[in-house]
């Protein structure tokens, strides 16, 4: 799985001019299922993200996790994280999971994050979404479970 996470002070997702997911202090997580991903992959990634120490502690150092600070997660499916731009100027997305499999893994990931005690909000899988955020820091981290 691939995830792009952003530390935010506020984030929201709008579909058809209606806000369907919104958080305050926490993480905006863009997630993409890749071929070979499983429920186990999802659980490991969720745990890694929840424990990633990217929030400021009392000494203003990045030493606190989402779990530690009691923040929220806004989770948005984004197949474009699988973009292949190696053959020209138009990205290819054939390395992303097929939609049915990807939706199931997305829902599993959302459940995994929630099972860790983190308040979650979501986008809508497959929808044309508008995402608004106030990046805190800015802090943006890329995670890929298949990376060495």
Active site residue 93: no
Active site residue 17: no
Active site residue 79: yes
Among the listed residues 6, 41, 78, 122, the single catalytic one is 78
Alpha helices in 11-98 (DSSP H): 39-51, 66-69
Please state, in angstroms and rounded to a whole number, the distance separating the CA atoms of residues 25 and 85. 33
- Alpha-carbon distances of 124 from 29, 39, 63, 89, rounded to whole Å: 13, 20, 32, 28
Residue 25 is classified by DSSP as: S
Among the listed residues 79, 108, 109, 122, the single catalytic one is 79
Catalytic residue list: 78-80
């Amino acid at each position: 799985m691939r995830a792009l996470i952003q530390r935010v002070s506020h984030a929201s997702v709008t579909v058809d001019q209606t806000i369907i997911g919104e958080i305050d202090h926490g993480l905006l997580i863009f997630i993409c299922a890749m071929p070979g991903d499983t429920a186990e992959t999802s659980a490991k990634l969720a745990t890694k993200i929840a424990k990633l120490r990217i929030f400021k502690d009392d000494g203003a150092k990045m030493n606190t996790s989402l779990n530690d600070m009691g923040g929220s997660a806004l989770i948005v499916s984004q197949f474009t994280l699988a973009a292949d731009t190696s053959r020209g100027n138009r990205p290819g997305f054939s390395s992303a999971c097929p939609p049915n499999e990807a939706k199931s893994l997305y829902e599993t990931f959302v459940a995994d994050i929630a099972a860790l005690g983190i308040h979650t909000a979501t986008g809508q899988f497959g929808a044309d979404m508008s995402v608004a955020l106030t990046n805190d820091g800015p802090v943006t981290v890329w995670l890929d479970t298949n990376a060495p």
